[in-house]
Amino acid sequence: MFKIEVYTKINFRNSYAEHILFDINTTGLALIDKLYSSYLYAIDGNLTIRQINIIATELLIDKITEGYYCKNNNLTENEFSFNKTDHSIFCIEIWYKNGVTDTVAETVTKAVKDLGIMNKISVKRGYKYYLYSHRQILQETVKIIVSTCLCNVLIQDYIIKQHK
């Protein structure tokens, strides 16, 4: 399985992340200083690295404003960038639960065929958030933030990783 993470390039404004940060900080949990967000696509099928790169560059990213990481290993392997002043850094991945209709994934499956890649594939679409804070934050507090602002726990699962 390939996991593609689509991120906004550093010199472009990630207004979605700014909006989410505003939401978190106005729920009474004003603990987060920075937030980055990215989209995740888990693509399974008999695909080559070259085909994956075509899917990523031609379909999943906006060439002007976005870039991507690609891995073909475990989904919870994360990269952390951080400052020494950050006391708490969390990475959260959110995926739909099994059985929940993933409409974006269905569209990706159709769009991959438009690229001329006819292999049978299965796709999952997820979200990834990086939370940074100058304060010490308990994982339990992050769970409240995630379930309040980032994840609909009825239909989505989340994984929290903390940078030690």
Q: Which of 28, 46, 63, 73 is close enough to bind other proteins by CB under 8 A?
A: 63
Q: Which residues contact 25 (CB under 8 A, 6 or more apart)?
A: 32
Using CB under 8 A as the binding rule, whether residue 52 contacts other proteins is answered as: no
DSSP sequence for 84-133: TT--EEEEEEEEEPTTS--HHHHHHHHHHHHTT--S-EEEEEEEEEEEEE
* Binds other proteins by CB under 8 A, chosen from 104, 153, 159, 160: 104
Look at the alpha carbons of 112, 97, 103, 94 in this order and tell me if their dihedral is positive or negative.
negative
Query: Under rule CB under 8 A, how many of the chain's residues touch other proteins?
Result: 24
The stretch among 82-90, 93-101, 107-115, 126-134 that binds other proteins (CB under 8 A) is 107-115
Q: Does 62 bind other proteins (CB under 8 A)?
A: yes
Judged by CB under 8 A, which of 12, 119, 135, 144 binds other proteins? 12
Residues that bind other proteins (CB under 8 A): 12-16, 18-19, 22, 58-60, 62-65, 103-104, 107-108, 110-111, 114-116
